[in-house]
Structure 1
Amino acid sequence: MFARLRHQIKKAAQRFALGGIGAVLALSGIGFLSASALLLLLTLTDPITACAIMGGAFLGTGLLFMLAARPSHKPDTPKHAQESQEAMPPVAAAFMQGMAQGMAAGRVRH
């Protein structure tokens, strides 16, 4: 039992370490790509325009990520489930009406 727990903890630690190293490498790659893009823009435009382009690109990308990460205000239940919940009271009323009519018909018959 403890051996399985130790194995799971070891695997989780390995995943965490590899994920952390991957994140650091990805961030450093983004840094180098940003620097190379800025140097390229500096050869094509003046420094202020190059910095404005880079800042706008990062701002736009950040706003898109924040827009994608915002919580939705949609209900968690599917639409068809809501429709069936709304339709349930009339169905129940019709069932009860049918039961009452059936019981009334049974009384009259004897």
Structure 2
Amino acid sequence: MYKRQIQNTRRFAAAPFRHGDAEILPGQQVLVVLAAANRDPAANPDPARFRPDRTDPVVLTFGAGAHACPGRTLAVAVTRAVVRELLDAGFDPAALPAEPAYRPLANARIPVL
């Protein structure tokens, strides 16, 4: 079984806006790199490091405002339960590869198992 993660999507500007040095005009396409969520070192220092003890992390995974995921609470609860069951059954997270390999796809991140 593969865990598929969609890495990017496109949006179209409804109004003009500026992002860094780029000026985006209404109707222009913007590539949104979902894989970068939570990876901003200004928001979460050392973002590549798994730190469950991180205090006040900036978590963008489930969106916000009108685009907030309605299943956030359920998804977190299911994930916690699965991880707890795996650990209780003797699963050792240290047995996972430090650097997993992924299929070479442009908009999905699919590990090679």
- The structure in which a higher percent of residues are helix is 1
Larger radius of gyration: 1
Report the TM-score when normalising by structure 2: 0.25
Report the TM-score when normalising by structure 1: 0.25
